[in-house]
Amino acid sequence: MVGLGKIGLPLAVQYASKGLTVTGCDIDERLVGDVNEGRCPIVGEEGLEERLAAVQAAGRLRATTDTAAAVASSEVVVIIVPVGVDEDHRPGLSALDAAAEAVARGLRPGALVVLESTVPVGTTRRRLGRALEEGSSLRAGADFCLAFSPERVYSGRVFRDLQTYAKVVGGIDEVSTQRAAAFYGRVLDAEVLPVRDAETAEFAKLAETTYRDVNIALANELALCADAYGIDVAEAIAAANSQPYSHIHQPGVGVGGHCIPVNPYLLMHGPVAEVSDSSSLRLAAASRQINDAMARYGVERLEAALGSLQGSTVLILGLSYRPNVKEAAHSSALLLAAELRGRGARALVHDPLFSPAEIASLGLEPAGELPPPRIDAIIVQALHDAYRDLDLGSFAGCRALLDGRNALERQRVEAAGMKYLGIGR
């Protein structure tokens, strides 16, 4: 298992729990040490601590920083390392390239290599396959099998999702597809869904996450319209979705995480960008712009309610991109803080899952203990369970609350003496 992050380690534990002997590889020496000593390095992943301890005690999982040596003693190699985008939204594949180089040094004839990192279409065959061939002197499809199978799980509920969602598998040839499907059939309890080739599997992952981004962008545009008409968009969407062909998502102050804000760009910057004009993906591009602009829209609503943000102090509740998960990748809190600072406001960020030092490391100002001495407004960015019973009346002098996830009751906010602002409400 190459990559022991928030998804890779649970996968390694899953495979080991099915009776396989698993070696987890990572460049983080501390993480490797934790795994070998039976300490769970990931917080908040349901069932991981207990399962990790069980497979460790059974001697079925160990970790190492020597990827090449681990690959040399393995029949199956699964790669799941970070792939993101840079400031220009171009794919960042350096971690995958480094993993490919290490895997190639230990690759042996007859092995099966499966990539699970989300990547642009064609990456498995063209980039990973070529790197493995060049570094090992073996031929993909002849000397070793190569396939792509996208991860389709959420942090915090990986083991549940592995039992629920079909496992899509596509190889660079028929034998690779069959080998990969047989492997996943052995280690998972969910349906295994073979597709024609690796490119189809890569495209399927990008399609499903781009669909969600486009759907959220539609919900956000409907929220803007609802605000203009004086309509509660939450009520309207619920009514629309009572029709079985309507599946409108929910609006908010932005979309975060490793997948939805990133994968549309991986689709846009794949081979299609080389063979057609950009208009072929204009809906995906527009959706990214709409969703990233929602933080500005929310702050503008707050500014209008207060008259001005200049010299004000605003508390952002929730650094995580979604409730109850310690993950700040592409969090809307970052965009909200930037918009507030651009209007002369002081932006404080609070999150019970992050230490003040972790918040500050992202260029944000930690709020410290709640409530802060004085704030003018609150923005709910991620409604953690810890916030649900928050005494809003304790925030003396706070004049307005922007419910960025439409998760609070208006009456509760107004009873605390604050003006309630929602997204499309």
pLDDT digits (tens, 9 = 90+) for 4-45: 999 999 999 999 999 999 999 999 999 999 999 999 999 889
> Given this model, what pLDDT does residue 281 score?
85
Q: What CATH number has the domain spanning 294-421? A: 3.40.50.720
- The CATH number for 8-196, chosen from 3.40.50.1220, 3.40.5.90, 3.10.200.10, 3.40.50.720, is 3.40.50.720
- The structure's pTM equals 0.93
Average pLDDT, the chain: 95
β-pair partners for 313: 346
pLDDT digits (tens, 9 = 90+) for 221-251: 999 999 999 999 999 999 999 999 999 999 9
pLDDT digits (tens, 9 = 90+) for 126-170: 999 999 999 999 999 999 999 999 999 998 999 999 999 999 999
CA distance 52 to 80: 18
pLDDT digits (tens, 9 = 90+) for 168-203: 999 999 999 999 999 999 999 999 999 999 999 999
CA distance 143 to 137: 9
> Among all residues, which ones are annotated catalytic?
205, 259
Q: Do 8-196 and 294-421 fold alike per CATH?
A: yes
Which residue pairs from 94-99 have beta carbons closer than 8 angstroms and sit at least 24 positions apart in sequence? 96/123, 96/127, 96/128, 97/127, 97/131, 98/27, 99/2, 99/3, 99/67
Please report, as a single letter, which amino acid is at residue 183: F
96 Cβ contact list (under 8 Å, min separation 6)? 79, 81, 83, 115, 117, 119, 123, 127, 128
The fold for domain 205-288 equals N-(1-d-carboxylethyl)-l-norvaline Dehydrogenase; domain 2 (1.10.1040)
Domain ranges of the chain: 8-196, 205-288, 294-421
Q: What band does 87 get if pLDDT is binned at 50, 70 and 90?
A: confident
Work out the percent of the chain whose per-residue pLDDT is above 70. 97
> Given this model, what pLDDT does residue 43 score?
86
CA distance 260 to 262: 5
